[in-house]
Chains A and B, each alone.
Chain A
């Protein structure tokens, strides 16, 4: 079957760095996206990787390894407002992971 696996929860300290992993199994694959969703809110797009390697956007970076069917989202200089759920998503067929809830401790 087609699926994306992510940890259900991750906890980190304010100001630290955290990595959220995503492994995927899909029949067709173009790239991996990451979305952030605060409680009760709409998901917002963070990044996309079509090629292997690291993409950096400010405090957020995303990595993809096609050979390992694996990617991760890296959040640096964590702020309390980063407390949210983070979803990886794969295309061609649109599939989302179940999300990782990030808890940030002061």
Chain B
């Protein structure tokens, strides 16, 4: 079964700690994306990667970092510099960066207290 997995589904951290969210896909897609979703705010792009070893900032990259060392994996680190990290984080992929259809993972709900 091809798809995108994100783990864990729920994550709790104390303020000041860095936390890494996992995203894995077995769709053989080149492009991967990270979004943040807050109530009433829709999806906002954090980072995206068009190909392995390459990534670009989205609209709200401050306080986040990513890596793309393997085609299948695109982990997101929420650093202590992110002022308001509590949110629902969604990872997505598309065949290429020019492909409009994105496939989303189930999301990780991060709560920082």
Contact = CB atoms under 8 A, between A and B. Distances in A.
Nearest to A48: B100
A98 B42 contact: yes
B68 interface: no
Contacts of A42: 90, 104-107
A94 B40 contact: no
A89 B101 CA distance: 10
Interface string A36-68: 000011111100101000000000000000000
A94 B104 contact: no
Contact of A96 (B44, B106, B107): B44
Interface in B59-113: 90, 92, 100-107
A3 B13 CA distance: 32
A71 interface: no
B90 A94 contact: no
Contacts of A50: 100
Give the interface residue-count category, chain B. Answer: 20 to 34
Contacts of A33: 100-102
A1 B86 CA distance: 26
Contact of A31 (B33, B58, B100): B100
A97 B90 contact: no
Contacts of B53: none
B45 A98 contact: no
B53 to A, nearest CB: 21
A45 B43 CA distance: 14
Contact of A43 (B40, B44, B104): B104
A40 B58 CA distance: 23
A82 interface: no
A96 B48 contact: no
Given A42-B90, A48-B100, A97 B105 contact: no
A45 B102 CA distance: 7
A91 B98 CA distance: 9
Q: Closest 8 CB pairs between A and B?
A: A98-B42, A42-B104, A96-B43, A96-B42, A45-B101, A48-B100, A43-B104, A99-B42
